[in-house]
A and B are shown apart, each in its own frame.
Chain A
Amino acid sequence: MRTSVKKLVTAVSTSVALMGAGHAAAEIQIGIAGPMTGPVAQYGDMQFSGARMAIEQINANGGVMGEELVAVEYDDVCDPKQAVTVANSLVNDGVRFVIGHLCSSSTQPASDIYEDEGILMVTPASTSPEITERGYELVFRTIGLDSMQGPVAARYIASQSPERVAIVHDKQQYGEGIATAVRDTLKDAGVEIAMFEGITAGDKDFSSLVTKLKQADVDYVYYGGYHPELGLILRQADSAGLDARFMGPEGVGNKDINTIAGEAAEGLLVTLPPAFDQKAENQALVKAFEDKGEDPSGPFVLTSYTAVQLVAEGIEAAGSTDPFDVAAALREGTFQTPIGTVEYDQAGDMKSFEFVVYEWHSDGSKTPVN
């Protein structure tokens, strides 16, 4: 009891101390907002590790316009309510550049506040198209959109000329968004869609769904959602003898799916951003991560790194730390980054962001499919 009281007292006094320290230093604060705790904290880890590395390296090379970058980290637990609280404390702390948030449902309400308060936001992970659809000036991302990823998957499926395709999603913003994009592209390509159905995220029993898929006699099943549910579907489909090829977005492309689905994960198709950590020009960076004992292969590590780099280069290009000037510079310039050449359109999306179809194996490795 004594120690917890002590902890509380220290925590209170540090937070009080921090409140005062907000504006004092002549340095550039970079807010990093994402989940440090909660169910998707493993994705948050990727975001923080990438952004921290970029800040470290930029500072080692003399900072931005001679000023040092300072990371200020916030935990939003991927909860929309906490995200708003975090956004307000960012405003409070005088931070003018944010790397985040991770979940689209957190990014969306937070970006309202950032736009209003003149804070530049670069999200390394939120893929919901709505985020950049609202004509905001200060919202950017270093990741593709659901509406880009879906068509890539759909075009691949259509190219295999299947007879019937089923589309299943988890009724979440991310999963349903991609699934809808896949459905629309497949329809345009004239592929018969036998089923378009939602499941409940967190559910464990998919035997009825699998039976239904069997009855519909489909060749391809596209699943929009995350790995915990798809892993179970794969496994239950395998044991029920369903003979169909499964495909999913980057939310399923993670080794955890192998621990759940085991052998049944063999042959799963996944659309992923190209493996940036495999690129020859990034090897020095990959080594820097490995020297720190961190894994650069997660989908959001290098997008986060890039987000910080873009903010830094945007400041240099604009010659000012005013977020509006930086936003203008980002829209005009062309930047060489670990995720490739980045150019922005008016909405704040990258002009091109490539998704690649990979085949997943039961040992957790993946090979690109042509």
Chain B
Amino acid sequence: MAANNFRHALFCAIITLIISYPIIGFNLEAQGIDVTLTGADASTIVMVLLAAVIVFLFQMFREQIMGGLKSLPHPLPQSSKEPMAENRRAKIESWVLTGIVVLALFWPFFVSRGAVDLATLVLIYIMLALGLNVVVGLAGLLDLGYVAFYAVGAYTFALLSQYVGISFWLALPIGALLAALFGLVLGFPVLRLRGDYLAIVTLGFGEIIRILLNNWTTLTGGPNGIGGIPDPTLFGMEFGRRVKEEGNTSFHETFGIAYSGEHKVIFLYLIALVLAVFTALVIRRFMRMPVGRAWEALREDEIAARSLGLSRTAVKLSAFTIGAFFAGFAGTVFASKQGFISPESFVFLESAIILAIVVLGGMGSQIGVVLAAIAVTILPELAREFSEYRMLIFGAAMVLMMVWRPQGLMPMRRIHIELKRQE
């Protein structure tokens, strides 16, 4: 047994060396016109060797280590307890949420402009992640082309403002409805596919929409994107230094205060906050309605759900459409915040980031998703040197979450009875 263990550990250590040494230990560099190979510095090589040693030791004493870990107290102790009664839990949750929202309402007036702007971005991601959460977390449909609906929302506003001169407030519902319509139309044929095929098809759709946006130069400006997207107005008051549209007045002149760019940033933040709260509330309602229960039923066991008379297509389509609707919302806010959009902002990586947020937050859980959105967006801003490693860590975190806690950091919990399997 010990010898066997040793052989296995040695094998794993050698594999570690093979997969890391050639890639990390040698650097291909363009020196003038030649590509040359340089060895990495000593510290890197020591790190690689150290990694191999750690793998060796871990595999060698795997059982002891795993046993030791098990005996440690669980990092999140409540997870092994019975969940709280649902109404009590809901009460606490809604108090906490209300508190957070009230805090979020007053917070921007005390912090810097950059922070408020970043927070707006976080709120956009929260909307996106909440929307995707309906599709992936609740209905169990892996949508890898979610960014397409986000793009539809953003482009709807941009195009309507450019050609028709529509304002943010009118574009918001139109963008969201159009995205929902897209979701409905795309969803109809693809939803009968099985989980993993569905994922690939949505990925394909996402890419096709991006390529079309990029190639349809006459309408969308192609790679040049669309600029000059107006800011939201407050009852016809604009927040810019100068009024751009006739008939509007400017905010600072109406109230006789000095112009400050912060007004606009804070106003946009507040809009995003209201919309994010709206998104969260609507989806919460949906989760308690029969359709929400049906999503989860279908996710848990499609055959059982169908035999109970649920229409597979209708249930899936509703989740897909609602998810797309909120992506359209987020897209409109994004276009307004940027003032300029181009297909670059709607690449697959964006879909992957939103998915990572949903996965990290715990599929199905709203608070978890909100916290994950905050963490994923703000951490790279706080530590710039961390930003290079951001995607590496996302990738690793997605794998680790699936292996250790597929239900997420803050999983959704319900009262349930588990049937013990008879051994």
A binding-site residues for B, Cβ under 8 Å: 7-8, 11-12, 15, 19, 37, 75, 77, 79-81, 84-85, 88-89, 91-93, 105, 108-109, 112-113, 116-118, 128, 130, 134, 171-173, 176-177, 198, 200, 255-256, 258-259, 362-364
Contact = CB atoms under 8 A, between A and B. Distances in A.
Contacts of B121: 81, 85
Interface in B198-212: 211
20 contacts: A11-B384, A12-B382, A75-B384, A77-B387, A80-B338, A80-B344, A80-B345, A81-B338, A85-B121, A91-B113, A91-B114, A105-B344, A112-B340, A116-B240, A176-B222, A255-B33, A258-B33, A362-B33, A363-B33, A364-B32
A255 to B, nearest CB: 6
A362 B33 CA distance: 8
B339 A109 contact: yes
Interface in B229-249: 240-241
Secondary structure of the A contact surface, majority rule: helix
A113 B241 CA distance: 11
B390 to A, nearest CB: 10
B386 A8 contact: yes
A177 B342 CA distance: 15
Interface in B322-348: 337-342, 344-345
Q: Tell me if B's interface is mostly helix, strand, loop or mixed.
A: helix
A315 B138 CA distance: 59
Nearest to A81: B345
A109 to B, nearest CB: 4
A68 B149 CA distance: 49
Contacts of A258: 32-33
A41 to B, nearest CB: 10
Given A8-B383, A12-B382, A75-B384, A176 B339 contact: no
A116 B261 contact: yes
B215 interface: yes
A19 B340 CA distance: 28
B395 to A, nearest CB: 17
Given A12-B383, A85-B381, A255 B32 contact: yes
Contacts of B264: 116
Contact of A255 (B30, B118, B381, B386): B30
Contacts of B223: 171-173, 176
Given A11-B386, A15-B382, A171-B215, A259 B35 contact: yes
Contacts of A200: 211
B382 A198 contact: no
Candidate in B33, B338, B384 with the most chain A CB atoms within 10 angstroms: B33
Nearest to A115: B241
A134 B339 CA distance: 13
B265 interface: yes
B224 A256 contact: no
A130 B118 contact: no
A43 B215 CA distance: 27
A105 B337 CA distance: 15
Given A75-B384, A85-B117, A105 B33 contact: no
Nearest to A256: B30
State the 9 A-B residue pairs at the shortest beta-carbon distance, nearest first. Answer: A89-B114, A258-B33, A92-B114, A11-B383, A88-B117, A109-B340, A364-B33, A92-B113, A92-B112
A19 B385 CA distance: 18
Contact of B224 (A92, A173, A363): A173
Given A19-B112, A91-B113, A117 B386 contact: no
Nearest to B211: A200
A176 B386 CA distance: 34
B41 interface: no
A176 B339 CA distance: 22
A112 B113 contact: no
B34 interface: yes
B385 A11 contact: yes
A7 B383 CA distance: 8
Contacts of B384: 11, 75
Given A81-B345, A130-B224, A255-B33, A171 B214 contact: yes
A198 B222 CA distance: 11
Contact of B339 (A112, A173, A364): A112
Contact of A109 (B222, B338, B386): B338
Nearest to B341: A80
B14 to A, nearest CB: 26
Given A11-B384, A85-B117, A256-B30, A177 B224 contact: yes
Contacts of B337: 84
Contacts of B344: 79-80, 105
Contacts of A362: 33
Among B114, B211, B264, residue most surrounded by chain A Cβ atoms (within 10 Å): B114
A102 B58 CA distance: 47
Interface string B100-120: 000000000000111101100
Contact of B340 (A75, A89, A108): A108
A65 B113 CA distance: 29
B225 interface: yes
B228 A134 contact: yes
A93 B114 CA distance: 9
Given A7-B385, A117-B261, A258-B33, A173 B114 contact: no
B63 interface: no
Contacts of B117: 84-85, 88-89
A77 B388 CA distance: 10
B227 interface: yes
Interface string B367-391: 0000000000000011111111000
A105 B226 CA distance: 10
Contacts of A171: 214-215, 222-223
A130 B341 CA distance: 14
A106 to B, nearest CB: 10
Nearest to B377: A85
A88 B340 contact: no
Nearest to A10: B383
A70 to B, nearest CB: 18
Find the residue from B240, B261, B264 having the highest chain A CB count within 10 A.
B261
Contacts of A89: 113-114, 117
A117 B381 CA distance: 22
Nearest to B381: A85
Contacts of A93: 114
B215 A198 contact: yes
Contacts of A128: 224
B325 to A, nearest CB: 22
A2 to B, nearest CB: 15
Contacts of B381: 85
B338 A173 contact: no
Interface in B83-130: 112-115, 117-118, 121
Nearest to A84: B338
Interface string B258-285: 0001001100000000000000000000
